[in-house]
């Protein structure tokens, strides 16, 4: 885990690995809290988007092999009230959502996670505190809901080298400028490795 200082005192951008994200999941106190962590870290939902999601928003694609999660009102910088988007939903998480919906008897039109945006942020903060206690890694105490989205973007763009336009579409970013802050600066070794991998060293 790497911390990057921000202009606000005692606030950091946290760059997690997938292993650290899994540590965070293991610290979740409930199935609901684990879903919050997964929706942020594996689907890229913002804290205000998670409470919008209902079971009816889970859709299987026409090929029958993939899932999308409809976000009714994503971030809209034009001020027109929120833009819908179809986020990519991993199969494992679709299964978790289905099991949670059944176990909690949640109707198709009801919120999957019945919390406010503030409640979502509190779940992430409490879970991060538990992860710090369980792992002994104090850096977990700085993890926020926004850092889950940062992990989502970092995984796709850097770790897996997914086409940036695909990431922008499923993550709800309007421009390359909007997605750039989610990428950490490459170290000299990372630059060297990138050129070596493509045979341009």
Residues whose CB is less than 8 angstroms from the CB of residue 113 and which lie 6 or more positions away in sequence, other chains included:
32, 35, 36, 39, 50, 51, 53, 120
pLDDT tens sequence for the chain (201 residues): 989 888 888 889 899 999 999 999 999 999 999 999 999 999 999 999 999 999 999 999 999 999 999 999 888 765 556 789 999 999 999 999 999 999 999 999 999 999 999 999 999 999 999 999 999 999 999 999 999 999 999 999 989 989 999 999 999 998 888 888 877 777 788 789 889 988 988
Q: How many other C-beta atoms can be found within 10 angstroms of the C-beta atom of residue 179?
A: 18
The pTM (predicted TM-score) of the whole model is 0.91
Residues whose CB is less than 8 angstroms from the CB of residue 56 and which lie 6 or more positions away in sequence, other chains included:
108, 109
The CATH superfamily assigned to 2-197 is: Intergrase catalytic core (1.10.443.10)
139 contacts 14 by C-beta, under 8 angstroms: yes
**Domain ranges within the chain, ordered by starting residue:** 2-197
């Amino acid at each position: 885990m790497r911390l990057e200082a921000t202009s606000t005192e005692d606030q950091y951008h946290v760059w997690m690995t997938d292993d650290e994200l899994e540590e965070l999941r293991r610290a979740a106190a409930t199935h609901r809290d684990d879903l919050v962590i997964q929706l942020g870290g594996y689907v890229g939902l913002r804290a205000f988007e998670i409470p919008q999601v209902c079971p009816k928003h889970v859709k299987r694609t026409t090929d029958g092999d993939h899932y999308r999660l409809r976000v009714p009102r994503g971030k809209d910088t034009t001020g027109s009230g929120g833009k819908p988007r179809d986020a990519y939903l991993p199969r494992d998480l679709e299964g978790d959502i289905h099991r949670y919906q059944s176990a909690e008897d949640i109707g198709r039109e009801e919120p999957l996670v019945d919390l406010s945006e503030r409640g979502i942020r509190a779940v992430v903060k409490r879970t991060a505190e538990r992860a710090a206690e369980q792992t002994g890694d104090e850096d977990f105490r700085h993890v926020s809901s926004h850092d889950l989205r940062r992990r989502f973007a970092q995984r796709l763009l850097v770790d897996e080298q997914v086409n940036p336009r695909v990431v922008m579409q499923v993550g709800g970013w309007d421009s390359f400028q909007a997605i750039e802050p989610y990428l950490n600066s490459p170290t000299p070794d990372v630059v060297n490795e990138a050129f070596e991998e493509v045979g341009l060293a």
